[in-house]
């Protein structure tokens, strides 16, 4: 059955890679959207005009090194990276014009997909601000039945200035959800990501690591680019 069909999501578990924890699904990820109105089911004709899924980037587009993070909004190790390591990466490299940082969403479960839909609903200018809120409140919004999780995410969206009407429209946008899943699958095929957070630095995939190790990899990539 295709991932784009409406299915019940499955659980996920922790994996330790190189001394640092990563997050991966216990089984093949089956994704489910929120209950949707009938018009949200896209036809083959509509699929040919799929909405664009924008790449979310921080930093100078002409920076010498690109760092891609693959992360799931429901992954506690991704939350730790965003709370503790990303601020250091931003201060030392992104804000200095030395690194172009790309954030790519991974959907190991349906709640992560919904969170991505809420973050993107805010638009590129506010996207990373909503991402920060989603990670800060991860322990709260991921609790409860699906309807409760959906309302928790709406609450985060309202905190970011989105109206109930905007949130309802975003969370029932089947065409956008399918486009996001298609983009996610293409990224997984490109870099073969099995756990999160994962990082592509200098074109090579790395598992979760300390900031010291990441900084050393980035410094070598910068030196090689000069």
2-39: per-residue pLDDT in tens? 333 332 233 334 433 344 444 544 333 444 454 343 33
Specify if 151 maps to a domain: yes
Q: 36 or 200, which is more confident?
A: 200
Which residue range(s) make up the domain with 122?
A: 12-23+53-225
Residue in 74, 157, 70, 144 with CA at minimum distance from that of residue 109: 74
Residue 88 has pLDDT above 60, yes or no: yes
Does residue 176 lie within any of the structural domains?
Answer: yes
By the 10 Å C-beta count (0-12 exposed, 13-18 middle, 19+ buried), 163 is classed as exposed
Residue 210 pLDDT exceeds 60: yes
Query: Between the CA of residue 88 and those of 57, 80, 81, 111, 210, what are the distances in Å?
Result: 17, 13, 10, 28, 11
Query: How many domains does the chain fold into?
Result: 1
Residue 195: which CATH number? 3.40.30.10
Could you give the CA distance from residue 81 to residue 69 in angstroms, rounded to a whole number? 10
Mean predicted confidence (pLDDT) in 213-223:
96
pLDDT confidence of residue 137: 97
As a whole number, mean pLDDT of residues 78-89 equals 97
Tokens of 198: 């994962």
Per the domain annotation, does 39 fall within a domain?
A: no
* Contact by Cβ (8 Å): 25, 150: no
Please indicate, yes or no, if residue 172 is contained in any of the structural domains: yes
For strands 204-206 and 56-58, give the pairing.
unpaired
Share of the chain above pLDDT 70, in %: 79
**pLDDT digit string, tens, across residues 119-131:** 999 999 999 999 9
Is residue 81 a part of any domain in this protein?
A: yes
- At 18 the pLDDT is 41
Give the pLDDT confidence score for residue 10 in this predicted structure.
33
Half-sphere exposure of 67 (CA within 13 A, CB side): 29
Does the pLDDT at position 223 exceed 50?
A: yes
82 occurs within a structural domain: yes
Cβ burial of 27 (10 Å; 0-12, 13-18, 19+) is exposed
Residue carrying structure tokens 């002409």: 62
164-182 pLDDT, tens digit per residue, is 999 999 999 989 999 999 9
Task: Tell me what pLDDT residue 51 has.
Answer: 85
Average pLDDT, the chain: 83
193 vs 65, residue with greater confidence: 65
Residue 75 located in a structural domain: yes
Q: What is the mean pLDDT of residues 90-109?
A: 96
Does any domain span residue 29? Answer: no
pLDDT confidence of residue 6: 31
């Amino acid at each position: 059955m295709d991932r784009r069909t409406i299915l019940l999501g499955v659980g996920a578990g922790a994996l330790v890679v190189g001394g640092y924890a990563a997050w991966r699904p216990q089984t093949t990820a089956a994704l489910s959207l929120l209950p949707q109105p009938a018009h949200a089911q896209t036809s083959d004709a509509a699929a040919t005009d799929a909405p664009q899924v924008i790449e979310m980037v921080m930093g100078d587009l002409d920076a010498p090194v690109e760092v891609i993070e693959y992360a799931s909004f429901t992954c506690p190790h991704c939350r730790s990276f965003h709370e503790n390591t990303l601020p250091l990466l931003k201060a030392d490299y992104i804000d200095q014009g030395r690194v172009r940082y790309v954030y790519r969403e991974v959907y190991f479960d349906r709640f992560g997909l919904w969170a991505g839909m809420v973050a993107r609903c805010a638009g590129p200018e506010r996207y990373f601000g909503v991402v920060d809120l989603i990670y800060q409140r991860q322990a709260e919004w991921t609790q409860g039945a699906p309807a409760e999780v959906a309302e928790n995410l709406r609450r985060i969206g309202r905190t970011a200035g989105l109206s109930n009407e905007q949130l309802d429209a975003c969370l029932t946008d089947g065409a956008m959800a399918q486009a996001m899943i298609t983009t996610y699958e293409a990224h997984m095929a490109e870099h073969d990501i099995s756990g999160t957070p994962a990082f592509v630095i200098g074109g090579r995939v790395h598992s979760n690591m300390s900031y010291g190790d990441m900084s050393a990899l980035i410094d070598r990539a910068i030196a090689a680019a000069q």
